[in-house]
Structure 1
Amino acid sequence: MTRLIIRKVAVLGAGVMGAQIAAHCANADVPVLLFDLAAREGAPNTVIDKALAGLKKLDPAPLATRDRLQHIEAANYDHDLARLAECDLVIEAIAEKMEWKLDLYARVAPFLKPDAIFASNTSGLSIEALAAGMPAAQRSRFCGIHFFNPPRYMPLVELIATSQSAPGMLDALESWLVTRLGKGIVRAKDTPNFVANRIGVFSILAVMHHTIRLGLSFDEVDLLTGPRIGRPKSATFRTADVVGLDTLAHVVGTMQATLPQDPWHAHFCVPNWLQALIAQGALGQKTRAGIYRKQGRQIQVLDLALRDYRDSAGEVLPDVEDILKLRNPAEKFAQLAAHPHPQAQFLWSIFRDVFHYCAVHLADIADNARDVDLAMRWGFGWAQGPFETWQSAGWREIARMVAEDIEHGHAMAAAPLPAWVFERDGVHAAEGSFSASAQQLRPRTGLPVYQRQLYPERVLGESPSPRGETLWENAGVRLWRRPDQDARIGIVSITSRMHTIGDEVMEGMLEAIARAERELDGLVIWHEAPFAVGANLQQVGEACRAGQFDLLERMVDKFQRTSMAIKHAQVPVVAAVQGMALGGGCEFAMHAAHRVLALESYVGLVEAGVGLIPAGGGSKEFALQAHAMAQRAAGGDVFPYIQNAFQTIAMATVAKSGLEAIQLGFGRAGDDVVFNAAELLHVSIRRARALAESAWRPPLPSRKVTVAGRNGIATCELMLVNMAEGGFISAHDYRVARAAATALCGGEVESNAQVSEQWLLDVERAQFVELLKTKPTQQRIAHMLETGKPLRN
């Protein structure tokens, strides 16, 4: 397979999706031309400029760092079509109107590079029909490429071939999307709404149908269809508001118009109450009113009986709550189906009808059941796909229950379950997942790009990935290796809950490093997200309550020794960071020889939130960075580089991406940012091997570090005085921030004094322990343990 090189991308259409697709390409260091119509008056690129400005305001942020915006250029169809010849990939993302798309294709086709890939981001139109609008010579390089919203965060991209799409082109594009943009790919068949939207929109319609049938309220249903059943917090009706009620109606309309033979066709319609909202302009979140609206601080929900909004106050029946807490899926479904309450009947009904729909349509919409399940996980945020849920609950028994409901007219359609359903014990097995069209199990794709995923996301019933060979472990840490990858690169995984760093983790890390130095060539700190959420506050809180401050000082000293062991290990230690790396977790990563950060890494020194400062060497590392940068600057003044670090620590700033983590100083310019988290371990092992082979050696402890001293502390205090007088911070916030300034500036020494690295550690440890002795800090720790939220006191 020829490697696909994409030096520049063009996105046609600067709407919500087009602009965010462009943003994610820019995140990946791919320059983008973002096209739209030329403005009728004024500057021709007004439409695109407005879209680019909007990218900076969206939440969640489509841009990994704000400076990514410079990689997107505005262009318009009247003046800039010739620039399409610069682009290796062109993604069309205009409105879902077949005639508009075909008109645009005719207009842009003459300007495309002969070897450019042209792809439509349509959410459901026929790819074959769209391909017909391209010149015959370009159809082999045309396909569907359906991103999900928001494109940065939603893993799913559906790749849809036409009868003429070149297989090699599709394989190369899939590989590029997986590694460069970090996507999970499902090869969808060219059927209306493809895989995820076909199942997901039907699921929403089923929820709406049974909500009305059983007389439930919208907020009640959202309580039932969120995390309690493994779905996102936005559940069903809040999700509809976020997507846009008009957008949802459009997708439903596509199903109604293009699927006349579907046995569920009678349900492919927009309910009257939803049509009324759309007619009123209440389209959901974008118009600040839809099924829900916000009145002041109160969330209100539409009540069909009242024909008006009321305060949201749904609740789940205790009986149903108890059933949902059952660990055994088979028992859970049996009790839901048998329970007479509308909430229980509702839950059984929505699962039953989705199971029924998926079974009947598997052959039509997807190559195999795994693709359906991964599409729903990646595109709709379900914890399990529909076939996984069915199989986990007992395939044959659920099939019997569904068939019985169909026979008695309880299901939404009368179509019988396919014969294959009764011939199997499930659709997922060690050898692969069932293909209804081929009537056999399909293994995963053999594309080389997936060899980089040592622990890919598996569906229920698939063979698990190798656990690796354990070399040593204790209660908090496991040292192991993957002999099939590199037997002399060790992997150390924190095994405590949420990967908190307590005494057993520090002991384990010290032992793992010592063993790696004796027996291995390198070490990778890796485990599934989160990387680590900081020190074990439970242990700290208990010691505070017992007044064991000498013990706490020894604990902080061990934390510092562990961080320094990571930094000065005689083999390279690579931190593979994914998810949250907060407090002590951030400090461990900062001390590693190298960091491989997943794009979606949330990194920060957040100790100020519990009335503390970083004391695992984080403050010291910022002081060392300031010294190094000052040495390269005219005059050698340290404080300008301390100032940013002070604000970062005092405000407990958390980087919202791996790229931003490097900008804020939690990483270094040479660190790697990996867009596909499943590739994190592979890249980290390779990086550790490369460091070992390059005669890497640890840095020597710094003995002469120039610090800002008293003048630096005083300058930081000036900022604090203004904030305190303005009522932005409390007296204890002031004290905590001053302690941070003291640690960063090297303590009460003369400005530009030179101190050792150990001196800096001693200063931050002393400041940390003094804060622990204060009542407000103890209150903040207790409140965080009780509520999971910071206390302002």
Structure 2
Amino acid sequence: MNRFPVRKVAVLGAGVMGAQIAAHLVNVKVPVLLFDLAAKEGPKNGVVSKAVDGLKKLKPSPLGVADDAVLIGQANYDEHLEQLRECDLVIEAIAERMDWKLDLYKKIAPFVAPHAILASNTSGLSITKLSEALPEALKPRFCGIHFFNPPRYMYLVELIGTPSTDARILDDLESFVTSALGKGVVRAKDTPNFIANRVGIAGMLSTMREVEKFGLTYDVVDDLTGKKMGRASSGTFRTADIVGLDTMAHVIKTLQDTLSAETDPFYPSFATPEVLKVLLEKGNLGQKTKAGFYRKVGREVYRFELESGDYVPAGEKGDEVYARMLQRPPAERLKLLRESKGAQGQFLWAILRNSFHYAAVHLSTIAETARDVDFALRWGFGMKQGPFEAWQEAGWLQVAQWIQEDIAAGKALSNAPLPEWVFKGPVAEAGGVHTPEGSFNPTTGKFEPRRLLPVHARQLFPENVSGTKAASFKTAGTTVHEDDGIRLWTLDDEVLIASIKSKMHAISPEVAEGLQQGIELAEQKYQGLVIWSGDDPFSVGADLQALMPAFIAVGVSAIDDAEQFLQQTMLRMRYANVPVIAAIRGMALGGGCEIAVHASKRVAAMESYIGLVEVGVGLVPGAGGLTYIARRAAEQQARTTHKDLLPFLTEGFTAAAMAKVGTSALESRKLGYLLDDDVIVPNKDELLYVAIEEAKAMFTAGWRPPHRRQFAVAGRNGKATIQGQLVNMRDGGFISQHDFHIASLIANVLTGGDVDGGTLVTEEYLMALERKAFCELVTHPKTQDRIMAMLSTGKPLRN
């Protein structure tokens, strides 16, 4: 596979976006130079240095590991333009001012390498107009690249070409952004605000107009337009606060300045809402100023009230009847909402109708196909479905008729009719814009398949839009065994895949049994076993709810048996005669973490959150997690000249006792849950491909499991040292008595119990101590209170 080699990237502009783009490049091991103006006072790189220091303080963190900020190269335009010649990709990310960008291009153009790509990170300025300042030789290598904020976490990147952009350049850049940066790429046409912001902000403005019309409060609207509607949990107004009301106002102004009633029939609805004007005048810009549509005071949340100009207590919810309507099948759902008499139901129908209407009218001018619009809204605005998907699932022609009736009745935002292709031709005949052949392109009048570049071959089950009937990992390949807990299957008859089927991929005795069966089958017929369940999370740990009936009926001996079986499963995995690969994405908590650390190798998506969190429910890790920490500490000490084991145990003890979770795969590596030779994959959709290839490579190289070795423990003196620190924490009020009791049990396991320091033990010995501690805590009233609180509320109880 030919690829565009990106050895170094320059990012121009150390503002909010530029600095965070640079941070993400560091996350994925791409060397980066961050440029800005030379400081007028002090060190010339002062502007960049301040921005880099600021990255360490941002939440959520732009960096996988805060210490990696030092890897961002610092430069200024006065002294370092020559260094641009070393860069294969230059991303300009200065403020959204056309004149400033054009001036910068004139300055840097002579220093851009002859092969390098120059891309402007802009949320809506014309890429073609920006290109006019460039020399003719550079124009074919120039395009727009629109990262969404925050760049590390937002999956969407829009690429925008100009009439002069070389098609190969866009392909090369898409390949790099997809595989190296881990993003989902959508190609947008060079129109104001491109796709996601054009449709998404129009939708937010539409929502605000309908809120005024129906007299609803912001908290009710956010309740209705969040998870209940299949959108981001923050709803509409909380999302605006997170994005920043000044940012939102800027995007709205771009629409106002670059469009007109002649070019966009919805133009009158782009007027800045009165409430947004008032909040901007007050300087209440949302989360960044701690006040916007909402303000938090202590634990209390208040919402802004336009009538009084002040904040009032928030927390109102939508009427439950509409929540139930939103759970109905798509066609029934829209019919019920359209025919409802209540304001909330009419509001929900109105904003859905408006989104369908707007997307259909503008599809031909903003995107190549309907798929691009749906992906852009999914990835950029956190929707489970894009507007065309939702419309198609509800019945294409029926919904189109309802929209047209509302347009005729003057209920819609615009009197522009739906395009003719909605009612006639291929779309009407197919019942929607998405088909197995592809998605509708109104310019060609055809259904077009997804663009396939060589890099996309690494995505075995890429995210897809509904209606395409794409192969699902749940039924793909050849099933070798399947039951309620697990599916064992293969794509190529060479590597076996184990997919956990339980809710949140929790580990029940049935799942453990399935994993053992998978190992046995893999040893007999395959080159390896990959544990991959298709979507987030990897696993949230042991299925406590499944264990409760046995505990109630039989008592603690049932828990002891179940834990022993889980421990045996972990050891079976560690000492399997074929490589066992844990393919991790999302959370790998508790038992999920224990599966990961006992696998032969781990392949983890960048956004993997790994940790032993049992303390949160009043327990200790019971399936080998503490044994792993003790063994790893002994192995680390053995590779040094240090005679004291305790320093090597400290970090692992702290992580388990405080239920620390790595906030990225990089931080999980620092905590010891990933090792240096484990693989971190930027793009979640490449995870299975890489895991399978790793299994094959390990098998081909002659994989043999590690020897079963005894290892040294810190013993009773080590335990006494740890407990002395715990006493200080308890007496200082930092931890509760029950926290102290749990942490003491963890210390007892990690140090090997009542033995001399340096005593050699087996994994089975420490696992027996784990089980004893686990079973003791299961019967403790305070632990039972924590378990019940977690099962009933989903939140930890501190008692």
Normalised by the length of structure 1, the TM-score is 0.98
Residue 2 to residue 566, structure 1, CA distance change in 2 (3 Å): closer
Choose 356-365 or 633-642, whichever is displaced more: 633-642
1:467-478 mapped onto 2 (5 Å cutoff): 467-478=476-487
> What CA deviation, in whole Å up to 9, does each residue of 1:759-787 have, x standing for no partner?
12222222222222222222211221111
2:155 counterpart residue number: 155
1:593 counterpart residue number: 600
1:449 counterpart residue number: 455
The structure 1 segments of at least 4 consecutive aligned residues displaced by more than 6 Å after TM superposition are none
2:788 counterpart residue number: 782
Distance 2:148 2:114 in 1: 28
Distance 1:246 1:177 in 2: 28
Letter in 1 for 2:660: T
1:302 counterpart residue number: 304
Q: Is this contact kept in 2: 1:610–1:784, CA < 8 A? A: yes
2:578 counterpart residue number: 571
> What CA deviation, in whole Å up to 9, does each residue of 1:314-369 have, x standing for no partner?
2212332332232x111111111111211111111111111011111111000000
SS in 2 for 1:578: strand
Distance 1:372 1:125 in 2: 19
2:673 counterpart residue number: 666
1:481-630 mapped onto 2 (5 Å cutoff): 481-483=490-492, 487-527=493-533, 528-546=535-553, 548-630=555-637
1:102-501 mapped onto 2 (5 Å cutoff): 102-260=102-260, 261-326=263-328, 328-423=329-424, 424=428, 425-465=431-471, 467-483=476-492, 487-501=493-507
Distance 1:742 1:372 in 2: 56
> What CA deviation, in whole Å up to 9, does each residue of 1:276-325 have, x standing for no partner?
22122122222222221123322111112223211113221233233223
Letter in 1 for 2:305: D
> What CA deviation, in whole Å up to 9, does each residue of 1:706-752 have, x standing for no partner?
11011111111111011101101111111111111111111210011
Q: Is this contact kept in 2: 1:578–1:601, CA < 8 A? A: yes
Distance 2:112 2:257 in 1: 33
The unaligned stretches of length 5 or more in structure 1 are none
Deviation for aligned residue 1:212 = 1.0
Q: Is this contact kept in 2: 1:480–1:490, CA < 8 A? A: yes
SS in 2 for 1:655: coil
SS in 2 for 1:372: helix
Q: Is this contact kept in 1: 2:551–2:558, CA < 8 A? A: no
Which residue of the other structure, out of 696, 704, 723, is the alignment partner of 1:717? 723
Deviation for aligned residue 1:514 = 1.1
1:28 counterpart residue number: 28
Choose 95-104 or 217-226, whichever is displaced more: 217-226
Deviation for aligned residue 1:547 = 5.8
Deviation for aligned residue 1:184 = 0.2
Choose 515-524 or 269-278, whichever is displaced more: 269-278
Distance 1:301 1:122 in 2: 32
SS in 1 for 2:138: helix
Deviation for aligned residue 1:121 = 0.3
SS in 2 for 1:596: strand
Residue 775 to residue 546, structure 1, CA distance change in 2 (3 Å): farther
Choose 548-557 or 643-652, whichever is displaced more: 548-557
Q: Is this contact kept in 2: 1:206–1:350, CA < 8 A? A: yes
Choose 287-296 or 48-57, whichever is displaced more: 287-296
Distance 1:524 1:296 in 2: 46
Deviation for aligned residue 1:491 = 0.3
Letter in 2 for 1:612: L
Residue 547 to residue 306, structure 1, CA distance change in 2 (3 Å): farther
SS in 1 for 2:465: coil
Deviation for aligned residue 1:107 = 1.0
SS in 2 for 1:43: coil
> What CA deviation, in whole Å up to 9, does each residue of 1:648-694 have, x standing for no partner?
10000001111211221112110000010100000000000001100
Normalised by the length of structure 2, the TM-score is 0.97
SS in 1 for 2:296: strand
Kindly tell me the number of residue pairs found equivalent between the two proteins: 788
SS in 2 for 1:656: coil
Distance 1:772 1:634 in 2: 40
Distance 1:518 1:313 in 2: 58
The answer to whether 1:727 aligns with 2:733 is yes
Q: Is this contact kept in 1: 2:583–2:688, CA < 8 A? A: yes
Q: Is this contact kept in 1: 2:301–2:315, CA < 8 A? A: no
Deviation for aligned residue 1:792 = 1.2
SS in 2 for 1:10: strand
Distance 1:308 1:689 in 2: 63
2:92 counterpart residue number: 92
> What CA deviation, in whole Å up to 9, does each residue of 1:608-663 have, x standing for no partner?
11111112111111111111111121133211111111101000000111121122
Distance 1:247 1:530 in 2: 32
Choose 282-291 or 722-731, whichever is displaced more: 282-291
Deviation for aligned residue 1:158 = 0.3
Distance 1:236 1:501 in 2: 36
Distance 2:144 2:8 in 1: 19
Distance 2:622 2:220 in 1: 46
SS in 1 for 2:57: coil
Deviation for aligned residue 1:219 = 1.8
Distance 2:375 2:181 in 1: 17
Which residue of the other structure, out of 736, 751, 757, is the alignment partner of 2:757? 751
The unaligned stretches of length 5 or more in structure 2 are none
Distance 2:110 2:2 in 1: 25
Q: Is this contact kept in 1: 2:12–2:93, CA < 8 A? A: yes
Q: Is this contact kept in 2: 1:468–1:482, CA < 8 A? A: yes
Distance 2:486 2:274 in 1: 57
Distance 2:336 2:713 in 1: 67
SS in 2 for 1:493: strand
SS in 2 for 1:301: strand
Distance 1:202 1:288 in 2: 25
Letter in 1 for 2:733: G
Letter in 1 for 2:487: R
Deviation for aligned residue 1:16 = 0.8
Distance 1:631 1:718 in 2: 26
Letter in 1 for 2:488: L
Choose 288-297 or 606-615, whichever is displaced more: 288-297
SS in 1 for 2:674: coil
Distance 1:458 1:501 in 2: 28
Deviation for aligned residue 1:546 = 4.2
Letter in 1 for 2:392: Q
Distance 1:621 1:684 in 2: 22
Percent identity for Structure 1 against Structure 2: 51
Q: Is this contact kept in 2: 1:226–1:236, CA < 8 A? A: yes
Deviation for aligned residue 1:2 = 4.2
Letter in 2 for 1:303: E
Q: Is this contact kept in 2: 1:8–1:31, CA < 8 A? A: yes
Q: Is this contact kept in 2: 1:19–1:55, CA < 8 A? A: yes
Q: Is this contact kept in 1: 2:9–2:31, CA < 8 A? A: yes
1:34-49 mapped onto 2 (5 Å cutoff): 34-49=34-49
SS in 2 for 1:534: coil
Deviation for aligned residue 1:273 = 2.7
Which residue of the other structure, out of 702, 712, 727, is the alignment partner of 1:706? 712
Distance 1:716 1:217 in 2: 53
